[in-house]
Chain A
Amino acid sequence: MNHRHLLPNEIDLLVDEESGFGVQPLREHVRGCPDCNARLDSAKRVASALSEIPLIAPRYGLEDRVMSRVPVFVPWHVSARDSMVQWIPTGRAARLAAAAVVGVGGTLVSSLTLWIATRGDLVAMITGLAGEGAQRAAADAAGDLIVAILGPQVVTVVQQLGSLGVGLAMGGFVVASFATVFGLKRVAASTRARS
């Protein structure tokens, strides 16, 4: 038997029921040493008393008190997923029908996309035609608007004067805009003063 009494940390190893290398000789020593046995016994009693102390419950309603002060944060991807889930039917038949509709629709759209992608020249031609049409329609609409505002005679005069006419027309437009804004402000100020 080893005649050295156990060190305090060695007693701790036995209290914690460690099983590592070197613990077995300590156990053997304790079996043959009444002094160390008593020390271990006392340490074990304290550890056992500690492990038996009960958990204590807080006052009822802690959960609600905490939750009333905690903001529940829902990440965007979760809320997006939740919104999508709302649209999924609950019945089995309805789900199958929805899946079929989505499947057919998806296949059609995919096929159309693939077909368009393989016809690059056709896409370019359609895009060009559509662009030209939109440009012409925008120019016509702008012309109509100018004629409606200034009258056909003024437009004819501007066209005859060329770039000078365009400059004069733009200057007149700016002066008219300022005069309108100024006039409106004066009207507003006098209305406020009267009220």
Chain B
Amino acid sequence: MKPVSVLDLANLPDADVVALAQQGREPAYRELIRRYERPVFSLVYRMVRDRELAEDLTQDTFIKVLSHIDKYRSEFKFSSWLFKISNNVAIDHLRRRQLDTVSMDGSPHATNADLTDATSFELPTQDETPLQELEARELGSEIERAIGRLRPEYRACILLRHVEDKSYEEIAATLDLPLGTVKTYIHRARHELRKLLEHLKEEGYDIADEPA
């Protein structure tokens, strides 16, 4: 069989690149990573809103997907499968983090003010690290901040719809949700975003811009 060069791979559709990866062709594995590293990272980063963590979760996603590439069934779109796993990885992390969350305002079981004071703590003030600065720049626009305030399920739906340009049916398949639920989530997400961004319109800013 004629070896497929990297340039040829770039022109092949996903299904063919995946077929080559299933035959154990390493360049095909690499092509899939190159093709999807930005979309997957963007989705995961916007879900967890922590750059370093998003790097790790994106890496975990690709390792999971490529280690089980032989189990991929071609009747699904590869991108749907990949986004499904990346979304699951991000949601799992968010759920774990929710369980690990400690209130800074003191124990919810405190029965009086002294006990509340005794169980509360303050985080030391720190200067912004370069990474935090980068994150603030990347996710700092009003629209990004508004996305960050949506529920994770809404966030995944709205990002897949508008950033990845997926149809409602594809989103339903990707997130394993009924079509009606996807429509509801997207509708609610849009509604919440409109409410969150309303003040900008009143102040005369374009919603994609960062106010000065």
Contacts and interface: CB of A to CB of B under 8 A. Distances in A.
Interface residues of B, number: 47
A63 interface: yes
A62 B23 contact: no
Give chain B's interface secondary structure class: helix
A75 to B, nearest CB: 6
Contacts of A46: 190, 193-194, 197, 207
A8 interface: yes
Contact of B38 (A57, A71, A82): A57
Contacts, number: 113
Closest 8 CB pairs of A and B: A74-B24, A50-B162, A58-B41, A55-B38, A49-B208, A66-B62, A49-B207, A70-B66
A63 B24 contact: no
30 contacts: A8-B187, A9-B183, A12-B186, A12-B190, A47-B162, A49-B143, A50-B162, A53-B141, A53-B162, A55-B42, A56-B41, A56-B45, A57-B37, A57-B41, A58-B38, A62-B33, A66-B62, A66-B63, A66-B66, A67-B26, A67-B30, A69-B59, A69-B63, A71-B67, A72-B29, A73-B24, A73-B69, A73-B70, A75-B70, A85-B1
A81 interface: yes
Give chain A's interface secondary structure class: helix
Interface residues of A, number: 37
Interface string B125-162: 00000000000001001011001000000000010011
A58 B59 CA distance: 10
Contacts of A79: 24
B95 interface: no
B190 A51 contact: no
A4 interface: no
A55 B41 CA distance: 8
Contact of A70 (B29, B41, B190): B29
Contacts of B45: 56
* Best-buried of A56, A71, A74, A82 by chain B (most CB within 10 Å): A56
A50 B193 CA distance: 10
A15 interface: yes
B37 A63 contact: yes
A75 B191 CA distance: 50
